[in-house]
Amino acid sequence: MSHKKKTSEGFFYRLLAVPELGVVVALVVSAAIFQSFRPVFLSGQVIGSIVQAVTFVSIIGVGQAFLLISGNFDLSVGAVAGLIAIVSGKLMTTAGWPVWLALLAGIFLGGLIGAINGFMVTRAGVPAFIQTLGMLFVSQGMIQVVSQGYPVYPLPKVITTIGDNTSFLNLGWNLPIWIFVCLVGDFVIRKTTVGRNLYIIGGNSEVARIVGINVKKYQLACFILAGSLSALSGELVMASLNAGAPSIGTGWELTVIAGTVVGGVSLFGGVGTIAGGILGVLLIQCVQSGLVTSGLSPNFQLIAVGFILVLAVFLDVYRRKYRNTMRKSNDEELNDQEAVKAKGVI
Amino acid sequence: MPLNKILEVQDLSKSFGNVDALQKVNLTFFEAEIHAVLGQNGAGKSTLVKLLTGLYETKSATGKLIMGGNEIELRSVSDARNKGIAYVPQEIEIVDNLTVAENIFAGQLPTHHNIFSLKNTIKAAQELVEKYELNLPVSSFASNLSTAQRQTTMIARGLASNPSILILDEPTTSLSKEDAEVLARTMRTLRTKNVTMIYITHRIPEVMNLCDRATVLRDGKVVLELDKKEFSSEKIINSMIGRSLSADGNVKKEKNKSKDILVLENISAERKGPQSIALTNINLKVKEGEIVGLGGLVGSGRSEVLDVISGRLPFTGKMIWQDKVLTSTNPSEMRKNGIFYLTEDRKREGLLFNLNLKKNVTAGSLDLFSKFGFLNENKESEIAVASMKALSVKTKNFSSEPSNLSGGNQQKLLLARALIANPKILLLDEPTKGVDVGARQEIYRIIHEVQKSGTSVIVVSSDLDELLALVDRVIVISNGTTVDEFERADGDESRILKFGTGVSK
């Protein structure tokens, strides 16, 4: 395509087309502001703690982004992460299973919970909101039943080596696992038939059905993925805390959804990228940590997240509108007669 | 019969851009008559209705409306209602979980000091129902109503403003024969109550039985006006078609002698939902490389037949695909068999507004440029751009979004999607709906090229000229059943209309 395009294809227009632009700008701006308040903000320690927190949440975020792109979402992810942390902790202690088996069983169980959600949504027709909200309560209750309110502690020695590995910026194995999950997720969504079909399904599931895509199978697979990744994340938190705490994952479902949506993944399906979703989670974590280093009350974190969420979606709506008006004013193809025929005479 | 003029339409003209939707239409409606307005799609019926109901302001057209001797100007639907013109739309819009009375007064609920009272609403509805002798249980919930009662509720809603003129827009489209009888009875009763009814329809037998006068519109002009004693289905059909059209209808086509690729035998199907048409006894055959047209009225079940073939609608009966009997299907299986479906509704069931043009074209055909599930985007781009160019999709940028395209180009985009899939049968529902004249010709050319490559095509179109110009064989559907079938050379528009409108059986 030629590079000599007029206004509609100009630099600004193309820049506006990059969905991650807003998050990157916001990330840079907020980091700069916090740094100017407290120069300690961009120190290795703070960055390390931000990344640490981001790894846990955004592993779930990858699964949530797949679900959102295919037109669904899952509210139970945080509770499932907590439940699996407790269950696999119990399996490797009380039940005496080998550690590797207990960890694998946990991820399998997470996938199974996802499969139940997926089955109820795609086959039984229960709205995803209700089904996964129900699963959120069930999982929270199960956490209390299994743990009886006490953390699972102590865990086998080998678990500590997962959580405390010092070879990766003192962040433990969750850093390389996080990077791996993100890279694979991003590759699958952008470069494979699976990813493309998810965009088609999320864009319009009826069209997807007509062109021959097995919509239910894909949506079910996304729920299973979200469940498995939640389980993985729960186990990583357990490893880094060196305990199966009943509080793991509490409230994460909203942080995850807020983060991915801030990163440009549409709640209505078919739009967004994994990279954007992860950046969104990073932005929210960055603001939360920044407020802590600035010495503000932790309650302000919630207020800030609320503002960012609404602001991000507002800006996204505005960006689209602006792009549309730029496009319309340059559109010569709209044919009067045709427009009339389309809505009038028939 | 006393003939008091109630509404006169004088020299009414309206155009959209350079399309003349109505040209100097003159009509007179008398008190207490049922006046049919007939015409093919695009004849100007809808425009006339919209002007009479105030949906289009009177001053947006030229000409006069005279009511009771005075010239009137309609500014809005509620303005028209206040002046005594009420409208019963084609679709039955009933809220199931409200009472019939609330449904009747929807949008104009009677209130007392701004406070709603269900008791008063039911009382008002009861008075209305008694006044017009309608058979409606006003205090029960609408979910209990039969289809005929739902239609009656819609009429009651129109009557709620106590109008002198009631316009009914194709009310029988989704009604069974029995329900249509109930409607006819209701209309006869209303006539005795001095209500003038303007009855928009396609169905000629209903006109003959029910109406006092009939007006036929064609190309925005009044071409025929008949009194009851002059009624003849022959005259009505001929004037709906217009004689000038038969000139280009004499395309001779060779008889196709290839074998059947798809056979439907005694297929029945029913979709759940209030507006759907049940299919019974659908029989049709499609040969390899043949273009088959499904003729019939809107709402006759044409689209449902395509839904069955594409696997979207479960059926009972026998479907034979390349000598293999299929008892149940789904879209993904039929797509693998080589059936590609472009539905009537491009916006809701065709285009993907979240993806660019190239990705829109390749949706459903990713295996053409992927290995082990990995996409080769360069190859994708080549394939997509080549197919869009071949079908001359006009755009400045193949990576832009489909909302930028005009209707004709959107349709060509979808045809490109279908053609790269290399289908054995292409199902096209109203392929030129909302498409301008130039793009129409290109779409016809594309369909003929598809045929030359050996693909069979099944076309549904309300435009009879278009249908006959395109197809090798016509199958006429009426009320969910195949009623007639003929080779292109053996029939014309009137044959489709005769069977499709129920004049012949």
B288 in the same domain as B332: yes
Which residues of chain B lie closer than 8 angstroms to A344, CB-CB? 16, 21, 46-47
Please indicate whether, in this complex, the C-beta atoms of A341 and B434 are within 8 angstroms of each other: yes
More confident residue, B456 or A154: B456
Residue of B259, B347, B292 lying closest to B473 (CA atoms): B292
Q: Which domain holds residue B493?
A: 244-338+466-505
In this prediction, residues B64-78 reach a mean pLDDT of 90
Mean pLDDT confidence for A88-103? 92
Global pTM value: 0.78
User: Does some domain include residue B425?
Assistant: no
In this structure, what CATH number is given to the domain that contains residue A58? 1.10.3470
Q: Place A324 in a pLDDT band, splitting at 50, 70 and 90.
A: low
- Same-domain status, B223 and B306: no
3-state secondary structure of B276: coil
Per the CB < 8 A criterion, the answer to whether A195 and B358 are in contact is no
pLDDT at A169 over 70: no
The predicted model gives A77-85 an average pLDDT of 96
Task: Provide the 8-state DSSP code for B140.
Answer: S
> Using an 8 Å Cβ cutoff, are B298 and B42 in contact?
no
Question: Cβ distance B40 to B237 under 8 Å?
Answer: no
pLDDT range class, residue A135, cuts 50, 70, 90: very high
Which residue bears the tokens 């919970």?
A: A113
Structural domain includes residue A200: yes
Is there a contact between A345 and B341 if contact means CB atoms under 8 Å apart? no
Range in A123-127, B237-241, B352-356, B456-460 with the lowest mean pLDDT? B237-241
Do B194 and B205 sit in the same domain of this protein? Answer: yes
User: Which ranges of chain A would DSSP assign to H, the alpha helix?
Assistant: 11-17, 21-37, 44-69, 77-92, 99-122, 128-147, 157-163, 174-191, 193-203, 205-210, 215-241, 252-262, 274-293, 299-329, 336-340
Average pLDDT over residues A153-169: 74
pLDDT-derived band at B89 (thresholds 50, 70, 90) equals: confident
Identify the CATH number of the domain in which residue B253 sits: 3.40.50.300
Whether the Cβ atoms of residue B96 and residue B110 lie closer than 8 Å to each other: no
Q: Which structure tokens are listed for B3?
A: 């003939």
Q: Pick from B46, B340, B353: which is nearest to A345 by CB?
A: B46
Instruction: Specify whether B82 is located in the same domain as B177.
Output: yes
When CB atoms are compared, the residue of B312, B353, B408 closest to A203 is: B353
User: Is residue A337 domain-resident?
Assistant: no
Worst-scoring range by mean pLDDT, A118-127, B130-139, B233-242, B315-324?
B233-242
The three-state secondary structure class of A328 is helix
Average pLDDT over residues B78-97: 88
Q: What mean pLDDT is predicted for residues B199-203?
A: 83
Q: What is the dihedral of CA B24, B28, B34, B40, to 10 degrees?
A: -10
User: Which of these three, B214, B241, B268, is where a domain ends?
Assistant: B241
Say if residue B258 is in the same domain as residue B319: yes
Same-domain status, B169 and B185 = yes
**Cα B355 to Cα B36: distance, rounded to the nearest angstrom:** 46
Identify which has the larger pLDDT, A50 or A320: A50
A109 occurs within a structural domain: yes
The mean-pLDDT minimum among A97-106, B5-14, B41-50, B356-365 falls in: B41-50
User: What confidence score (pLDDT) does residue B440 get?
Assistant: 81
For residue A1, is it within any domain?
A: no
Say if residues B295 and B474 touch (Cβ distance below 8 Å).
yes
Strand B62-67 with B70-72, pairing = antiparallel
Looking at B197, B223, B241, the residue that finishes a domain is B241
Q: Which of A135-144, B236-245, B290-299 has the lowest mean pLDDT?
A: B236-245
Task: Give me the residue from A197, A269, A337 closest to B18, CB to CB.
Answer: A337
Residue B219: name the closest of B188, B241, B200, B204 by CA. Answer: B241
- Give the tens place of pLDDT for each residue, B213-254: 999 998 889 999 999 888 888 888 888 877 544 334 444 455
* Rounded distance between C-alpha atoms, residue B14 and residue B26, angstroms: 13
B187 and B208 housed in the same domain: yes
Average pLDDT over chain B reads 86
- What is the predicted pLDDT for the residue at A51? 87
Interface of A with B (CB under 8 A): 1, 5, 9, 191-194, 196-197, 199-200, 202-204, 206-214, 266, 269-271, 327, 331, 333-338, 340-342, 344-346
- Mean pLDDT value of segment A208-216: 94
Task: Please state the domain count of chain A.
Answer: 1
Domain co-membership, B208 together with B266: no
Percent of chain B past pLDDT 70, that is, above it, reads: 94
pLDDT for the residue A287: 87
Residue A317: pLDDT band (50, 70, 90) is confident
Q: How confident is the model at residue A217 (pLDDT cuts 50, 70, 90)?
A: very high
Which pLDDT does position B2 carry in this prediction?
A: 54
Can you tell me the mean pLDDT for A171-186?
Answer: 89
Check CB contact under 8 Å for B349 and A344: no
- Mean pLDDT in residue range B378-397: 90
Inter-chain CB proximity B349 and A342 less than 8 Å: no
- A304: in domain: yes
CA distance to A6, B155, B447, per residue, from B150 (Å):
56, 9, 41
Q: What is the pLDDT of residue B25?
A: 92
- The answer on B332 and B196 residing in a single domain is no
Contact A57, A209 (CB under 8 A): no
Range of the domain at A150: 22-27+38-318
Mean pLDDT calculated for residue range A167-176: 74
The DSSP annotation for A49-61 comes to HHHHHHHHHHHHH
Q: Which amino acid is at B80?
A: A
Of the candidates B44, B354, B436, the beta carbon closest to that of A270 is on B354
Same domain? B271 vs B316: yes
Q: Is the pLDDT of residue B339 over 90?
A: yes
A330 inside domain: no
**In terms of pLDDT, which residue wins out, A155 or A20?**
A155
Q: Residue B276: its pLDDT value, please?
A: 64
Q: Are residues B176 and B213 in the same domain?
A: yes
ipTM: 0.83
Helix (H, G, I), strand (E, B) or coil at B110: coil
Could you tell me if B88 and B166 lie in one domain? yes
Judging contacts by C-beta atoms under 8 Å, the chain A residues touching residue B340 are: 211
Would residue B122 count as lying in a domain? Answer: no
Q: Mark which of B241, B275, B295 sits at the end of a domain.
A: B241
**B353 chain-A contacts, CB cut-off 8 A:** 203-204
Answer whether residue A13 is part of any domain. Answer: no
Greater pLDDT, B344 or A107:
A107
Kindly determine whether residue A270 and residue B348, on different chains, have CB atoms separated by under 8 Å: no
Q: How many domains does chain B have?
A: 2
**Mean pLDDT score, A206-226:** 95
- What per-residue confidence (pLDDT) applies to A296? 80
Q: Rounded to whole angstroms, how far apart are CA atoms A180 and B58?
A: 67
Helix (H, G, I), strand (E, B) or coil at B396: coil
Look at residue A124 and tell me if it is in a domain.
yes
